[in-house]
Structure 1
């Protein structure tokens, strides 16, 4: 879909078998029921979660350790600290500001290692791309180049931690891309959009709402070449807010003219309520 996705193919190309995908939904649903009853999660839940993490994010959770932590009053947050490392290059005709997050995980060392490795790989790829573009500029007789990557914590609750990584580039024209990691602190999983829903009906329903919202309410035209196809798919960037609402994100130029920039749309919960696996994340 975009540049940062291309940089992370080694992480994103891991297939999710239908059976594991189904069990993940069951796990989230069970966690939601347990949450509403305000009870501790059962030990078998964490054993199941460990299977999904291998497929979803190449992570490996220790069921015994997760179970032990679940029994500790005031279950500790997945992320105890977030450090931002920055690479800065500033010259007359080109500049680069690249932020790399490092998370400190108090409950799952494997999760920490994989996420941090992914963030480092993204930043290294961005910097290598920056250097390559400088060479191309010199060969072409000069020009202007500016790249900027930023890290931001979008959501931080007792259950959910959402980290965004955005990337913008100015070289003649400009581009903007953004990705999110939605992490369940207690289950130790990185959420996918399909895992939130009982079936694929959400794609058409959200797609219809986005078309209506942009064209009818905001008078924003959608790119004609996008209309015959769903605007979103299983890999669509999304985040869940502190208010427990779902937000769908589009990069600049992805579905509208570049003048509108990147677009983020809040999806009414009433629209998708009957399709949710549980209300653990969205209400």
Structure 2
């Protein structure tokens, strides 16, 4: 690794560490509201953490009830745009979309997910408005933006996969994701453990493949994953049992990481498509 690359890593690391005091204030707020216990806790946490760095309202922005079905969906399971909040004053911008799921057989789960979608979006909006005065006073000429939105990744006869993401732009950009994969035939939410046989060691099987692929890409000069212990970052060792994932249109398992989770910001939000032969012995039939 070159001196320039090390300096870039050091700069990114120090920028992240510099935000810890602001993050601490956000965590205290979230603890009171029990947001961390929600299904979309990752997206909600990121939404508040990163929205601390944005703000600015000219007048009172209006909510737009833009409800639209995703085209081409033949199943009753679908994702809608329930609400939209937009601000743009030239220096600061916000585009905050509230998604809504319909068609799940488990109505209690459906209501919980939709409630969390709404609470997460409202939390981003609240933090955006509250911090406007503070940020504007400190850096009136700053250019900052936040986007909380969703993207349909897979939509076929069997599966609907959705990425609910929070993009923050302040100098550089930071992105966090929460993925939802739904079995359209049963209307059930698919979890990572549910894809594998009972007691299968899927964490280590997936981690070993991903680590080998990270090292391969590093050696080929394709990427710069953190796979060795260094002065500024912890190396990737293994995925979390509930690691972000989705099933693509070919039915392949795709393991996902947030920006800065396993690599420098230039690597974006890395994803690894797992070959079927890697998990064929432990996959649920």
Q: TM-score, normalised by structure 1?
A: 0.67
Distance in structure 1 (CA, Å) of the matches to 2:225 and 2:79: 40
| Equivalenced residues, count | 213
CA-CA distance at 1:81 after TM superposition: 5.9
Aligned pairs for 1:1-283 (under 5 A) are 8-12=35-39, 77-80=75-78, 82-105=80-103, 107-142=105-140, 143-198=142-197, 199-217=199-217, 219=221, 220-223=223-226, 224=229, 225-227=233-235, 229-230=237-238, 232-278=239-285
Q: Which moved more, 1:215-224 or 1:113-122?
A: 215-224
Contact 1:162 1:180 in 2 (8 A): yes
CA-CA distance at 1:245 after TM superposition: 0.2
Residue of structure 2 equivalent to 1:52? none
Which 5+ residue runs of structure 1 have no aligned equivalent?
15-75, 279-283
CA-CA distance at 1:163 after TM superposition: 1.5
Q: Which runs of 4+ in 1 moved over 6 A?
A: none
Post-superposition Cα deviations, 1:41-95, rounded to whole Å, max 9, x if no partner, equal xxxxxxxxxxxxxxxxxxxxxxxxxxxxxxxxxxx83425623532110112100
Contact 1:79 1:104 in 2 (8 A): yes
Distance in structure 1 (CA, Å) of the matches to 2:131 and 2:78: 37
Q: Cα distance 1:8–1:247, how it changes in 2: closer, same or farther (>3 A)?
A: farther
Which 5+ residue runs of structure 2 have no aligned equivalent?
1-22, 42-73
> 1:169 is paired with a residue of what secondary structure?
strand
Q: Which moved more, 1:106-115 or 1:134-143?
A: 106-115
Q: Cα distance 1:277–1:107, how it changes in 2: closer, same or farther (>3 A)?
A: closer
RMSD of equivalent CA atoms: 2.8
Contact 1:98 1:148 in 2 (8 A): yes
CA-CA distance at 1:267 after TM superposition: 0.8
Distance in structure 2 (CA, Å) of the matches to 1:254 and 1:185: 31
CA-CA distance at 1:244 after TM superposition: 0.3
CA-CA distance at 1:167 after TM superposition: 1.2
CA-CA distance at 1:13 after TM superposition: 10
Q: Which moved more, 1:269-278 or 1:139-148?
A: 139-148
Distance in structure 2 (CA, Å) of the matches to 1:182 and 1:171: 30
Q: TM-score, normalised by structure 2?
A: 0.66
Distance in structure 2 (CA, Å) of the matches to 1:116 and 1:253: 28
Q: Cα distance 1:80–1:226, how it changes in 2: closer, same or farther (>3 A)?
A: same
Contact 2:211 2:237 in 1 (8 A): no
Distance in structure 1 (CA, Å) of the matches to 2:177 and 2:78: 24
Higher relative contact order (CA 8 A, sep 6+): 1
Distance in structure 1 (CA, Å) of the matches to 2:40 and 2:171: 32
Residue of structure 1 equivalent to 2:9? none
CA-CA distance at 1:197 after TM superposition: 1.4
Q: Cα distance 1:137–1:213, how it changes in 2: closer, same or farther (>3 A)?
A: same
